[in-house]
Amino acid sequence: MTHARLTVLVGPSGVGKGTVVSALKERHPELVVSVSATTRDPRPGEEHGVNYLFITEEEFDELLRNDGLLEWAQVFGGNRYGTPRGPVEEHLAAGRPVLLEIDLEGARQVRLAMPEAQLVFLAPPSWEELERRLIGRGTETPEQQQRRLTTARTELAAQAEFDTTVVNDDVERAAMELAALMGLK
Ligand code: ADP
Ligand code: 5GP
């Protein structure tokens, strides 16, 4: 069995990462999307082990001590998020392509740890459309939205570090482009 490739998807909050990845999973149930660990509280409807592993600060420290995370970052100045190393390595070794949906700092760590990983940036069709989507989603307070938009400027400025940019103009089209990049048939 050949060792499959790791793909990292990064994009500003509200660009549609979750939406595009759901569309991709629907077409390709064989795709493994890594479940991150986070210290943030679940939002209504989110499930432990499905959306995230919701863990305490102490449990996160323990994972770090045991080298249990492939990468991690403190996102939007608050909670910590990280990718559990074991499942990613096991799926790749078994020949299953794995997708990580993480932030820019995490992507930079993956590039150093696994130079063979493919880094894909998901970009909005325009800045105005990004604002519309983030605000329209309505899951953050106006202060949190502003913080995410400030971070978005940094993320958009880092696009050149990525192997490829996919524009999320249309969910199905963007999902198909991502599937092709990952070699999913
Ligand atoms: P992210 O995971 O990147 O933070 P979401 O997947 O939550 O973003 O999407 C943010 C909002 O934008 C949601 O309301 C979603 O329905 C909407 N959205 C996502 N992709 C598109 C698209 N291609 N066209 C229009 N709206 C979109
Ligand atoms: P949210 O709280 O909206 O689910 O996610 C906030 C941010 O955390 C998003 O930009 C997302 O990409 C990032 N994120 C989620 N999981 C991870 C992870 O495992 N590692 C890193 N570095 N960032 C993550």
- pTM value is 0.95
Distance 136 CA to ligand 1 centre (A): 9
The reported pLDDT for the residue numbered 44 is 87
Per-residue pLDDT for 109 more than 80? yes
Contact between 97 and 182 under an 8 Å Cβ cutoff? The reply is: yes
Per-residue pLDDT for 128 more than 70? yes
Nearest to 71 by CA among 117, 26, 102, 29: 102
- pLDDT confidence of 112, banded at 50, 70, 90? very high
Q: What is the pLDDT of residues 27-83, one digit of tens each?
A: 999 999 999 999 999 988 999 999 999 999 999 999 999 999 999 999 876 899 999
Q: Whose CA is nearest to atom 12 of ligand 1?
A: 133
Per-residue pLDDT for 1 more than 80? no
Tokens found for residue 161: 């570090």
At residue 104, the 3 state secondary structure works out as: helix
Distance 185 CA to ligand 1 centre (A): 24
Ligand 1 binding pocket, CB closer than 6 Å: 11, 13-19, 133, 136-137, 168, 170-171
User: Which superfamily does 6-182 belong to?
Assistant: P-loop containing nucleotide triphosphate hydrolases (3.40.50.300)
The reported pLDDT for the residue numbered 5 is 87
Q: What is the mean pLDDT of the chain?
A: 95
Distance 14 CA to ligand 1 centre (A): 6
Domain ranges of the chain: 6-182
Nearest to 69 by CA among 105, 29, 43, 26: 105
DSSP labels, 8-51:
EEE--TTSSHHHHHHHHHHH-TT-EE---EESSPPPTT--BTTT
Ligand that comes closest to the CA of residue 24: 1
Q: What is the pLDDT of residues 148-167, one digit of tens each?
A: 999 999 999 999 999 999 99
Tokens found for residue 13: 């909050």
The whole-angstrom separation of Cα 149 and Cα 147 is 5
